[in-house]
Chains A and B, each alone.
Chain A
Amino acid sequence: MAASVLLSITGATRRFRTPEGGSVHALDAVDLDVRGNEFLTLLGPSGCGKTTLLKAIAGFEDLDAGDIRLDGASLRDVPAHRRPFNTVFQSYALFPHLSVADNVGYGLDVARVPRAERDRRVAEALARVGLEAMGRRAPRQLSGGQQQRVALARALVNRPRLLLLDEPLSALDRHLRQAMQGELKALQHDVGITFLVVTHDQEEALAMSDRIAVMHAGRVRQLGTPAEIYDTPVDRFVAGFVGASNLVRGTWRSTAHGGGCVTTPAGIDIHAEGVASIANGATVDALLRPEQLSPIADGAGAAGPTLAATVASTVFVGPDVHLHAHLADGTPLQALLRHARGQALPFAVGARVVLAYRPAAVHVIAAQAT
């Protein structure tokens, strides 16, 4: 992956007036570098500013402060139609009065690309998304998934520097969505164009991205690879938004070499390793992902540290069983069990269970004011 910076966003700020006369920050001094040829996802709940940022990049939204630079040159005075970016809209926004081929050729037509080249590139783009036979259809004659491919082809045919995708998979059903995640990723790799995707779906973000920027309340809270975001979230918000998480609040007591222990007010200890730069006695959150907790029925044979809990409920979801339990002080915990075919669950509701974990799998977050 080329690490060169393609798009540089600095101090991007956008305020909106509320009906009550106040103002809210849709974007609050966002700094973000988009690299060449990467798959970057803006992930966050609705209202976090990710769509506003996408629109600002596309040129459909002004910034109150800050700047967006392409190859170092400010885009401030460049109108949307002169920016070398293309967007796949959430609703696809296919032109209903044009055939599929004319939709795809639209950008080339307004750029006055010669007919022969235009037709060749349209055919190429349609073939790339597997719709070579659909050129003469009207958009409304296609399924949702096919319409999305047309929207992709229509954008990519212009060879943009940056492809912006606004919730590209939200209108598809679950099966199609999962198939398209892989296809989008493969397509990005194929065409070598930077993809900037906006989504609220953390699974989607984890599955497709080279990097994820998690946004909340108009700010980028964390930027990193999917594994970094998942394993070492910087705060409770990121930990809670990306993946299922058990967050247990306590006081940090460090021992040697980054090791230590989070003690809850009720005196329950959670051991951790590889924790750097957290002051002794600080209030922290220990993050334990459900799959890092191994439920053991009788407590025997656990090599490392364990937590004693009581089973509250079990939910069978197919490949896994979600085990909901709580600690002696009532803190709820979720653990994951692999489902073994034909084997009855060994955990009855109300039964005692021992949850084993590796201290290295515990992530400790300094509890800042959030």
Chain B
Amino acid sequence: MSVAAHARWRRRALLAPAGLLLAAAFVGPLLLVASFSVLEPGLYGGVEWHWYPYNFGRVLGAPLGDVEEFDAAYATTLARSVKLALLVTLVSVAVCYPAAWWVSRLPPRRRALALFVVTLPFFANLIVRVYAWMLILRPTGVLNLVLAALGAGDAATDLMYTEAAVVIGLVYVLLPFMFLPLYASIEKLDPALLAASRDLGATPAQTFVRVALPLTLPGIVGGAAIVFIPALGNFVVPSLLGGSKVMLAGNLIEQQFLAARNWPFGAALAMLLLAFVLVVMLAAAWRRGTRGAVA
């Protein structure tokens, strides 16, 4: 065997475990869900195996008589999910960027400690951490107690089961996923480039906009992607902190699969969400690609 062929086989062997796992645990189930989305729901759950496009019709507006009704509420729920996921992403960037900047300028040993602290929440169970937020946000919770103690009792609010609570919870849960890619790209930013910008007459603000921001954009885009997507589909946080008042796409899909036992409709909602995410991601990748070609 030639050296090149040998190397080729070795690459394949290295890729095989991950490839097989992805095929079995991701591609297979995904195809199953995709096919369910165009099948008829069974009377007592399950599916009838024939072509049935009306699951999508209920959301997009092509109903089948009075059996599968079109309801704008589904599209509204999806739109609300996108809005809240965007908000969560923006808040996460705003919170993490300065923090990641600060950490990246620490001496190496304290930097390692700070990174450890950032990943600390992973050591506790997600549900427990979200319940902790319920203790903070409820009317008799920590937040209002602190406000009262500070003499701002009038400002006391009931944040539980509001969009604000869901955003706070999602930001909290997804923060490390924003922090780490941001940190990775800010840490690579050569301080000499910032000095060069100042030296050429740019104010600190101009330096940030013209040098720091474009050079750390990959981190922002990467962090935004891995925060936006889970925020869009998350159903634990909205169901605990938003209850029935803040219905998001994740809850809707969960309901269809579990409570309503309408697997095809749940699958159709999931495919719509997936399609939306794919379109956004491809658009971002395409923009990056065309701009990269110029630079």
Contact = CB atoms under 8 A, between A and B. Distances in A.
Interface in A63-114: 79-82, 85-87, 89, 91, 93-99, 106-107, 109-111
Interface in B125-180: none
Contacts of B244: none
Given A89-B192, A89-B195, A93-B192, A110 B215 contact: no
Interface string A104-142: 001101110000000000000000000000000010000
A97 B295 contact: yes
B198 to A, nearest CB: 5
B277 interface: no
B211 A95 contact: yes
A107 B192 contact: no
Contacts of B214: 97
Interface string A290-321: 00000000000000000000000000000000
B193 interface: yes
Contact of A86 (B192, B200, B215, B295): B200
Contacts of B225: none
B66 interface: no
A111 B201 contact: yes
A67 to B, nearest CB: 21
A138 B291 CA distance: 13
B206 A95 contact: no
A95 B196 contact: yes
B214 to A, nearest CB: 5
Contacts of A99: 295
Contacts, number: 68
B221 interface: no
Interface string A48-72: 0000000000111000000000000
A272 B199 CA distance: 50
Contact of A93 (B190, B206, B210, B295): B190
A197 B295 CA distance: 32
Nearest to B214: A97
B196 A89 contact: yes
B196 A87 contact: yes
Interface string B186-227: 000010110111111111101000110011000000000000
Contact of A110 (B192, B195, B210): B210
Contact of B193 (A58, A93, A110, A155): A93
A94 B295 CA distance: 14
Contact of B215 (A87, A91, A97, A109): A97
Interface in A5-46: none
A96 B200 contact: no
Contacts of A91: 190, 192
B210 A58 contact: no
Sort chain B's interface into a size bin: 10 to 19
Contact of B206 (A60, A80, A97, A110): A110
A158 interface: yes
Contacts of A154: 200
Interface residues of A, number: 28
For A60, A110, A138, the residue with the greatest tally of chain B CB atoms inside 10 Å of its CB is A110
Contacts of A111: 201
Nearest to A110: B202
A138 B295 contact: yes
Contacts of B193: 93, 95-96
For B190, B201, B203, the residue with the greatest tally of chain A CB atoms inside 10 Å of its CB is B201
A312 to B, nearest CB: 46
Contacts of B199: 58, 60, 80-81, 85-87, 89, 155
Given A110-B210, A138-B295, A93 B203 contact: no
Contacts of B195: 60, 80, 87, 89, 93
B196 A81 contact: no
B286 to A, nearest CB: 19
A276 B32 CA distance: 99
A79 B206 CA distance: 14
Given A60-B195, A89-B195, A106-B197, A96 B215 contact: yes
Contacts of A97: 211, 214-215, 295
A106 B201 CA distance: 9
B194 to A, nearest CB: 9
For B190, B193, B199, B214, the residue with the greatest tally of chain A CB atoms inside 10 Å of its CB is B199
Contacts of A138: 295
For A81, A82, A89, A91, the residue with the greatest tally of chain B CB atoms inside 10 Å of its CB is A81
A298 to B, nearest CB: 60
B198 A93 contact: no
A150 to B, nearest CB: 12
Interface string B257-279: 00000000000000000000000
B5 to A, nearest CB: 33
Contacts of B210: 106, 109-110
A81 B200 CA distance: 6
Contacts of B200: 81, 86, 106-107, 110, 154-155, 158
Contacts of B192: 89, 91, 93
Given A96-B193, A107-B200, A110-B201, 17 more contacts: A59-B198, A60-B195, A80-B198, A80-B199, A81-B198, A81-B199, A81-B201, A87-B195, A93-B192, A95-B196, A97-B295, A98-B295, A106-B202, A109-B210, A138-B295, A154-B200, A155-B200
15 contacts: A58-B199, A60-B195, A81-B204, A85-B199, A87-B199, A89-B195, A89-B199, A93-B196, A95-B211, A96-B215, A97-B295, A106-B200, A110-B202, A110-B206, A155-B200
Interface of B: 190, 192-193, 195-204, 206, 210-211, 214-215, 295
Across the A-B interface, the 6 shortest Cβ-Cβ residue pairs? A107-B200, A93-B196, A93-B192, A110-B202, A80-B198, A87-B199
